[in-house]
Amino acid sequence: MQQINPANIGELGLAWSYDTGQYRGHETTPLVVDGVMYLTSTWSIVHALDARTGKILWVNDPGTPRELGRMACCDVVNRGAALWGDSVYVGTVDGRLVRIDRTNGETVWNVDTRVNNIHYTITGAPRIIKGKVIIGNGGAELGARGYVSAYDAETGDLEWRFWTVPGDPSLPLEHSALETALPTWTGEWWKVGGGGTVWDALAYDPELNLLYVGTGNGAPWSRALRSPDGGDNLFLSSILALNPDNGDLVWYYQTTPGDNWDYTATQHIMLADLVIDGTPRKVLMQAPKNGFFYVLDRATGEFISAENYALATWASHVDPVTGRPVEIESGVYDSSGGVPIFPSALGGHNWHPMAFNPNLNHVYIPKLDMAGIYTVERDYNPETGINNSGNRLSPDEFGAAMAMRAEPKAYLLAWDPIKQQPAWEIEHATWPNGGTLATASNLVFQGTGDGHLKVFAAEDGKILHEVSVEIGIMAPPITFTLDGEQYISVVAGSGGAGVRQPEVLRHKQNTGRVFTFKLGANKPIPAVADKAIPDITPPQNFGTPMQVESGKQLYHRYCSRCHGGSATSNGIIRDLRHATPTIHENWNNIVLGGMFEALGMASFDDVIDEDQAQAIRSYVVKTANSTSEAEVQTAH
Burial category of 536 from C-beta neighbours within 10 Å (exposed 0-12, middle 13-18, buried 19 and up): middle
**Binding segment (CB under 5 A) for Ca ion, from list 85-93, 116-124, 254-262, 551-559:** 254-262
Q: How far is the CB of 367 from Ca ion (least distance, A)?
A: 19
**CA–CA distance, 120 with 95 (Å, rounded to integer):** 6
Buried/exposed 240-264: b ≥16 CB within 10 Å, e otherwise: bbbebeebebbbbbbbbbbbbbbbb
Site string for Ca ion, 191-230 (x = CB under 5 A): --------------------------x-------------
Backbone φ and ψ for 226, nearest 5 degrees, come out as -85, -45
> Of 262 and 470, which has the nearer Cβ to Ca ion?
262
| Residue 250 near residue 176, CB atoms below 8 Å | no
> Of 220 and 301, which has the nearer Cβ to Ca ion?
220
Chain centroid to CA 257: 22
**CA–CA distance, 414 with 430 (Å, rounded to integer):** 18
> Of 54 and 146, which has the nearer Cβ to Ca ion?
146
> Of 219 and 413, which has the nearer Cβ to Ca ion?
219
| Residue 418 near residue 276, CB atoms below 8 Å | yes
Q: How far is the CB of 345 from Ca ion (least distance, A)?
A: 6
**Binding segment (CB under 5 A) for Ca ion, from list 129-137, 255-263, 317-325, 520-528:** 255-263
**CA–CA distance, 429 with 217 (Å, rounded to integer):** 30
DSSP string of 330-384, one letter each residue: GG---TTS-EEESS-TT-SS-SSPPEEETTTTEEEEEEEE-PEEE---TT----T
> Of 232 and 262, which has the nearer Cβ to Ca ion?
262
> Of 31 and 144, which has the nearer Cβ to Ca ion?
144
| Residue 78 near residue 62, CB atoms below 8 Å | no
Residue 499 vs residues 178, 385, 506: alpha-carbon distances, Å: 36, 21, 12
Which residues, numbered 52-91, are part of the site for Ca ion (CB under 5 A)? Answer: none
Residue 462 CB neighbour total at 10 angstroms: 12
Q: How far is the CB of 531 from Ca ion (least distance, A)?
A: 30
> Of 388 and 588, which has the nearer Cβ to Ca ion?
388
Which residues, numbered 124-183, are part of the site for Ca ion (CB under 5 A)? Answer: none
Q: How far is the CB of 419 from Ca ion (least distance, A)?
A: 31
Q: How far is the CB of 173 from Ca ion (least distance, A)?
A: 25
Number of residues that bind Ca ion (CB under 5 A): 2
Site string for Ca ion, 262-301 (x = CB under 5 A): x---------------------------------------
> Of 40 and 217, which has the nearer Cβ to Ca ion?
217
Q: How far is the CB of 141 from Ca ion (least distance, A)?
A: 6
Cα 560–Cα 79–Cα 219 angle in degrees, nearest 5: 50
Residue 14 vs residues 18, 40, 108, 374: alpha-carbon distances, Å: 11, 21, 35, 44
**CA–CA distance, 5 with 204 (Å, rounded to integer):** 30
**CA–CA distance, 338 with 221 (Å, rounded to integer):** 14
> Of 140 and 412, which has the nearer Cβ to Ca ion?
140
**Binding segment (CB under 5 A) for Ca ion, from list 260-268, 454-462, 537-545, 580-588:** 260-268
Chain centroid to CA 594: 27
**CA–CA distance, 213 with 206 (Å, rounded to integer):** 15
Among the listed residues 527, 509, 513, 364, the one whose alpha carbon sits nearest the alpha carbon of residue 446 = 364
CA neighbours within 13 Å on the CB side: how many for 110? Answer: 20
Positive or negative CA dihedral for 597, 600, 601, 606?
positive
> Of 184 and 391, which has the nearer Cβ to Ca ion?
391
Among the listed residues 401, 517, 497, the one whose alpha carbon sits nearest the alpha carbon of residue 449 = 497
Q: How far is the CB of 349 from Ca ion (least distance, A)?
A: 14
Is 262 annotated as catalytic?
A: yes
Q: How far is the CB of 350 from Ca ion (least distance, A)?
A: 10
Q: How far is the CB of 351 from Ca ion (least distance, A)?
A: 11
Q: How far is the CB of 289 from Ca ion (least distance, A)?
A: 8
Long-range CB pairs of 458-461, under 8 A, 24+ apart, other chains included = 458/357, 458/359, 458/360, 458/362, 458/364, 458/414, 459/360, 460/424, 461/412, 461/414, 461/424, 461/425, 461/426
Catalytic residue among 75, 262, 450, 575: 262
Q: How far is the CB of 386 from Ca ion (least distance, A)?
A: 14
> Of 432 and 477, which has the nearer Cβ to Ca ion?
432
**CA–CA distance, 367 with 425 (Å, rounded to integer):** 9
**CA–CA distance, 495 with 449 (Å, rounded to integer):** 10
Among the listed residues 439, 510, 515, 522, the one whose alpha carbon sits nearest the alpha carbon of residue 475 = 515
Is 388 a binding residue for Ca ion by CB under 5 A? The answer is no
Residue 402 CB neighbour total at 10 angstroms: 15
User: Where does this chain bind Ca ion (CB under 5 A)?
Assistant: 217, 262
Residues tagged active-site = 262
